[in-house]
C-alpha cells in the first residue's frame, strides 16, 4: 500500500511521514520510506530510497544556479530516473505493508513537473494525503479553495486524494470544530459564502454549489505529528483504499 504525502513547503510532510511511519511500525506493520525531496537537509526517518543519492539542490546551486532554478533543475535531472525510481518503489511495495512517499518540498515541483506526473502514472492506484495548515484557513472561501485543491491534485496526478488538515495540535478545540464544520458541511459553507458580496465570494459560492456533484466521496482527516491524532484514521483510509475498492466516505 502506497501513501504519498503532498503539500506546500512547511505543511509538515516530512515530519508527518516520519511520525506516521513510526506509529505503523509500532502497530506491527513493515514500512518503507521514500524521500523525493532534493532539497531537504535532515530526515526524521531512514529512507529506503532517497533521490538525494542522485542529485541535490545544493550541489546544483554550487554550479551557479539560484535556489528556484536549482530546484527545477534537480527535477529535470531526475526525469530520466523515473523508471528506476518507480520500479524500486514497486518492489518496496511488494516487500513491505506500507510505502510512505515524502514528496518534494515545493509542491509545485511535483504537481507541475513531469517528474511527479510520470512517477505517479507509473504506480498502481497510489493514495495521496494532501496536507494543509490551519493558518491558510482564514476566510470562508479559503475552505472552498482547499477542498478544490484536493480535486486539482486528483485531476493532475490521477490519484485519489485525501485532504488532511495538519498541525491540529496548534488549535483550540473550538477552532478545530469550526474548521471541521466548514470543511465537512458543504451546505453550511455554501450558505456562509452566499453572504460574501465580493467577486471571490460569488465564485466560491458557485464552485461550492457544484462541489457535491464533482467530488468523489472522500472524508477529511485531522492530523497531528505531535500527538498522533488522525493516524488511526489515515491507516484505515489507506487500508480501505486498497482493500475495499476506494470508497473513502
- List the strands of the sheet with 127-132, edge to edge: 49-50, 31-35, 98-102, 2-6, 127-132, 161-165, 221-222
**Identity of the residue, 12 or 24, whose beta carbon is nearer to a copy of itself in the bound complex:** 12
**Identity of the residue, 210 or 239, whose beta carbon is nearer to a copy of itself in the bound complex:** 210
**Identity of the residue, 7 or 92, whose beta carbon is nearer to a copy of itself in the bound complex:** 7
**Identity of the residue, 113 or 235, whose beta carbon is nearer to a copy of itself in the bound complex:** 113
Q: Using CA atoms, how far apart are residues 76 and 197, in angstroms rounded to an integer?
A: 44
Cα separations in angstroms, 84 against 40, 48, 116, 209, 235: 21, 14, 14, 43, 28
> What's the closest the beta carbon of residue 123 comes to a copy of itself, in angstroms?
14
> What's the closest the beta carbon of residue 52 comes to a copy of itself, in angstroms?
11
> What's the closest the beta carbon of residue 29 comes to a copy of itself, in angstroms?
27
Which stretches of the chain bind a copy of itself, using CB under 8 A? 8-10, 37, 39-41, 57-58, 61, 65-72, 105-109, 112, 114, 117, 132, 135-136, 138, 141-142, 144-145, 148-149, 151-152, 154-156, 158, 160, 198-200, 203-204, 206-207, 210, 213-214, 216
Are β-strands 161-165 and 127-132 bridged in parallel, bridged antiparallel, or unpaired?
parallel
> What's the closest the beta carbon of residue 13 comes to a copy of itself, in angstroms?
10
Q: Which of helix, strand or coil describes residue 33? A: strand
Amino acid at each position: 500500500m502506497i501513501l504519498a504525502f503532498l503539500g506546500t513547503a512547511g505543511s509538515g510532510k516530512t515530519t508527518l511521514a516520519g511520525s506516521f511511519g513510526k506509529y505503523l511500525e509500532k502497530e506491527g506493520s513493515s514500512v518503507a520510506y521514500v524521500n523525493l525531496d532534493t532539497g531537504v537537509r535532515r530526515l526524521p526517518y531512514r529512507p529506503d530510497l532517497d533521490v538525494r543519492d542522485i542529485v541535490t539542490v545544493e550541489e546544483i546551486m554550487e554550479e551557479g544556479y539560484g535556489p528556484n532554478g536549482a530546484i527545477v533543475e534537480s527535477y529535470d535531472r531526475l526525469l530520466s530516473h523515473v523508471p528506476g525510481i518507480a520500479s524500486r518503489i514497486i518492489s518496496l511495495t511488494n516487500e513491505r505493508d506500507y510505502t510512505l512517499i515524502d514528496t518534494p518540498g515545493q509542491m509545485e515541483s511535483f504537481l507541475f513537473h513531469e517528474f511527479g506526473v510520470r512517477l505517479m502514472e507509473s504506480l498502481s492506484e497510489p493514495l495521496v494525503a494532501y496536507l494543509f495548515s490551519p493558518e491558510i484557513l482564514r476566510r470562508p472561501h479559503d475552505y472552498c479553495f482547499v477542498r478544490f485543491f484536493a480535486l486539482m491534485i486528483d485531476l493532475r496526478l490521477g490519484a485519489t486524494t485525501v485532504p488532511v488538515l495538519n498541525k491540529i495540535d496548534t488549535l483550540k478545540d473550538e477552532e478545530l470544530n469550526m474548521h471541521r464544520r466548514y470543511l465537512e458541511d458543504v451546505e453550511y459553507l455554501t450558505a456562509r459564502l452566499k453572504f460574501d458580496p465580493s467577486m471571490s465570494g460569488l465564485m466560491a459560492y458557485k464552485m461550492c454549489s457544484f462541489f457535491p456533484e464533482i467530488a468523489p466521496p472522500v472524508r477529511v482527516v485531522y492530523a497531528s505529528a505531535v500527538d498522533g491524532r488522525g493516524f488511526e484514521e489515515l491507516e484505515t483510509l489507506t487500508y480501505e483504499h486498497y482493500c475495499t475498492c476506494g470508497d473513502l466516505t
